[in-house]
Homo-oligomer: A and B are copies of this chain.
């Protein structure tokens, strides 16, 4: 009774297999399970202080933790969220995921992580799974269009991060003004007298990549800089693909700068330059996009656009809270920052 300092005394769960349930607590406290529930969830119903104390004592002695599965079934609320990201290899996305997990943990929510690999079928398998698990909400870190997604957004709270779904405007979204950022970046390059430029953009099926491309082209046209078709390449958002596209561009010879659809592509270009003996930044400037947190340490040669990844996650989290409470959908555009390292 008084030996609350004897911590493990009543923990019959350790090793015994069966975890302790609300019934065990009720029995030990000599009250009904309803009272236990009421005492523990301070919100609902009223409990006498005597009961509350008995329940607390029993719960502590038994080391009771409510079974979230039972709770979820009853309350129809799993308090579990899903994050589908297109490519967890990208450190930038990992950083967003990390912050998102922090935000959720503060609310005692948990995060299921899925990877779509930019493949609609894989994404649909993820969606299938997360719907069966009745998650409370879904975050997309760069969604692709897929049949399952269309159904999902009709039924469940969804927040898009960093990439809109072009087919479905008006959904909750957090990102930057990619068009303006890309335009500003190229303009800044032109102002540095880089005039023979190449562009390796991401897939135009991605709304974000498409906007970035338009911004780049717009700035070039404005500045009277002509970018020949042969210097514009479409890549997947990977280092390998950047590497591949860099080949023909370097073959071409006269090129001052390469503007890439994201940092991953830029890394691929960098490696190709190294292999070719092209000095970066002396012979060639490389511009990326996103500002992967590693850049500061590993890529002093990289100019890029900083997308505020921490804020991206925090705002996405807030968006989700808004969505859950009021159902209101919003687009939030965060400020970007031009990072000129070389």
Q: How far is the CB of A262 from chain B (nearest CB, A)?
A: 13
A50 beta carbon closer than 8 Å to chain B: no
- Residue from A72, A102, A294 whose CB has the most chain B CB atoms within 10 Å: A294
Q: Does A52 contact B (CB under 8 A)?
A: no
In the complex, which of the residues B15, B89, B111 contacts A154, with contact meaning CB atoms closer than 8 Å?
B15
* Residue from B13, B67, B97, B114 within 8 A of A88 (CB atoms): B97
A101: chain B residues within 8 A (beta carbon): 88, 113-115
Task: Let me know if A298 and B132 touch, CB within 8 A.
Answer: no
* CB proximity of A152 to chain B, nearest CB, Å: 10
Given A65-B132, A69-B69, A298-B267, also A112-B111 (CB < 8 A):
yes
Chain B residues positioned under 8 Å from A133 (CB to CB): 68-69, 80, 110
Check if A168 is an interface residue, CB within 8 A of chain B: no
For residue A94, which residues in chain B have a CB less than 8 angstroms away from its CB?
88-89, 91, 94
The reply to whether A68 and B132 contact each other, CB–CB distance below 8 Å, is yes
User: Is A270 part of the contact surface with B, judged by Cβ < 8 Å?
Assistant: yes
- Determine if A134 and B69 form an interchain contact, defined as CB atoms under 8 angstroms apart: yes
- Complex Cα spacing A8 to B131, Å: 17
Docked complex Cα distance between A294 and B114 (Å):
21
A95 in contact (CB, < 8 A): yes
**A148 smallest CB distance to B (angstroms):** 11
**Is the C-beta of A155 less than 8 angstroms from some C-beta in chain B?**
yes
Over the window 278-294 of chain A, the binary record of Cβ atoms lying under 8 Å from chain B Cβ atoms (1 yes, 0 no) is 00000000000000011
Taking CB atoms and an 8 Å cut-off, the chain A residues in 107-123 that contact chain B are 108, 110-115
Q: Which of A91-109 contact B (CB under 8 A)?
A: 91, 94-95, 97-98, 101-102, 105, 108
Of the candidates B73, B130, B131, B274, the one whose C-beta lies within 8 Å of that of A300 is B274
CA distance A235 to B240 in the complex (A): 33
Which residue of B has the minimal Cβ distance to A151?
B14
With a cutoff of 8 Å between Cβ atoms, the chain B residues found around residue A88 in the complex are 94-95, 97-98, 101
Chain A, residues 66-82, CB within 8 Å of chain B (1/0): the string is 11111011000010100
